[in-house]
Amino acid sequence: MTATTDGSTGALPPRAASASEPHDTIPQAAGSVGIQDAAARATQRATDFLLSRQDAEGWWKGDLETNVTMDAEDLLLRQFLGIQDEKTTRAAGLFIRGEQRADGTWATFYGGPGDLSATIEAYVALRLAGDGPDEPHMAKASAWIRERGGIASARVFTRIWLALFGWWKWDDLPELPPELIYFPKWMPLNIYDFGCWARQTIVPLTVVSAKRPVRPAPFPLDELHADANDPNPAKPLAPMVSWDGLFQRLDVALHTYRKVAPRRLRKAAMNTAARWIIERQENDGCWGGIQPPAVYSVIALYLLGYDLEHPVMREGLASLDRFAVWRDDGARMIEACQSPVWDTCLATIALADAGVPADHPQLVRAADWMLGEEIVRPGDWAVKRPQLPPGGWAFEFHNDNYPDIDDTAEVVLALRRVKHHDPERLDNAIRRGVRWNLGMQSKDGGWGAFDVDNTSPFPNRLPFCDFGEVIDPPSADVTAHVVEMLAFEGLSHDPRTRRGIQWLLSAQEANGSWFGRWGVNYVYGTGSVVPALVAAGLPASHPAIRRAVTWLETVQNDDGGWGEDLRSYPEAAEWSGKGASTASQTGWALLALLAAGERESKAVERGIEWLAQTQRPDGSWDEPYFTGTGFPWDFSINYHLYRQVFPLTALGRYVNGEPLVEVKGG
Q: What average pLDDT does the chain have?
A: 92
Domain 30-65+337-458+473-656 and domain 69-225+235-334 have a common topology: yes
DSSP of 384-436, one letter per residue?
T-TTSPP-BB-SSSS-TT--BHHHHHHHHHHHTTS--S-HHHHHHHHHHHHHH
**pLDDT confidence bin for 229, thresholds 50/70/90:** low
Considering 343, 368, 406, 559, which one is annotated as catalytic?
406
From 106, 28, 37, 653, select the one nearest 349 (Cα to Cα).
653
Residue 93 has pLDDT above 90, yes or no: yes
Separation CA 313–CA 81 (nearest Å): 11
From 404, 399, 498, select the one nearest 446 (Cα to Cα).
498
Higher pLDDT residue, 479 or 460?
A: 479
Higher pLDDT residue, 25 or 58?
A: 58
Question: pLDDT tens for residues 422-463?
Answer: 999 999 999 999 999 999 999 999 999 999 999 998 888 887
Whole-model pTM?
0.92
Please count the other Cβ atoms lying within 10 Å of the Cβ belonging to residue 186. Answer: 7
Among 226-235, 324-333, 438-447, the least confident range: 226-235
Among 7-11, 112-116, 159-163, 300-304, the least confident range: 7-11
pLDDT at 664: 54
pLDDT at 257: 85
Higher pLDDT residue, 258 or 551?
A: 551
Going 567 to 572 to 578 to 584, the CA torsion angle's sign is positive
Q: What percent of the chain has pLDDT over 90?
A: 85
Average pLDDT over residues 109-125: 97
Average pLDDT over residues 80-89: 96
Q: What percent of the chain has pLDDT over 70?
A: 92
From 397, 174, 439, 448, select the one nearest 289 (Cα to Cα).
397
- The radius of gyration of the chain from alpha carbons, rounded to an integer in Å, stands at 25
Query: What angle separates helix 116-128 from helix 136-147, to the nearest 10 degrees?
Result: 150
Question: pLDDT tens for residues 571-580?
Answer: 988 999 999 9
Please count the other Cβ atoms lying within 10 Å of the Cβ belonging to residue 648. Answer: 29
Domain boundaries, the chain: 30-65+337-458+473-656, 69-225+235-334
**pLDDT confidence bin for 587, thresholds 50/70/90:** very high
On whether the CB atoms of residues 400 and 283 are closer than 8 A, the answer is: yes
Residue 140 has pLDDT above 90, yes or no: yes
Question: pLDDT tens for residues 391-405?
Answer: 999 999 999 999 999
Residue 562 has pLDDT above 70, yes or no: yes
406 among known catalytic residues: yes
Question: pLDDT tens for residues 536-554?
Answer: 999 999 999 999 999 999 9
The domain 30-65+337-458+473-656 is placed in CATH, from the list 3.30.870.10, 1.50.10.20, 3.40.190.10, 3.40.50.300, at 1.50.10.20
The H-or-E segment that residue 326 falls in is strand 324-326
On whether the CB atoms of residues 631 and 568 are closer than 8 A, the answer is: no
Average pLDDT over residues 38-66: 97
- In Å, how far from its chain's centre is CA 278? 24
Average pLDDT over residues 294-318: 96
Separation CA 278–CA 282 (nearest Å): 9
Average pLDDT over residues 3-26: 36
Residue 91 has pLDDT above 90, yes or no: yes
pLDDT at 467: 73
Average pLDDT over residues 405-434: 98
Three-class DSSP category at 86: helix
**pLDDT confidence bin for 239, thresholds 50/70/90:** confident
pLDDT at 7: 39
**pLDDT confidence bin for 65, thresholds 50/70/90:** very high
Separation CA 397–CA 284 (nearest Å): 9
On whether the CB atoms of residues 71 and 334 are closer than 8 A, the answer is: yes
pLDDT at 4: 38
Question: pLDDT tens for residues 143-194?
Answer: 999 999 999 999 999 999 999 999 999 999 999 999 999 999 999 999 999 9
The contacts of residue 198 (CB under 8 Å, 6+ apart) are 459, 465, 470, 471
Please count the other Cβ atoms lying within 10 Å of the Cβ belonging to residue 266. Answer: 15
Higher pLDDT residue, 44 or 246?
A: 44
Q: What single-letter amino acid sits at 548?
A: A
**pLDDT confidence bin for 238, thresholds 50/70/90:** confident
Question: Under CATH, which architecture does the 69-225+235-334 domain have?
Answer: Alpha/alpha barrel (1.50)
pLDDT at 661: 59
Residue 487 has pLDDT above 80, yes or no: yes
Separation CA 266–CA 260 (nearest Å): 10
**pLDDT confidence bin for 252, thresholds 50/70/90:** confident
Separation CA 419–CA 359 (nearest Å): 5
Residue 123 has pLDDT above 50, yes or no: yes
Separation CA 480–CA 131 (nearest Å): 48
pLDDT at 234: 66
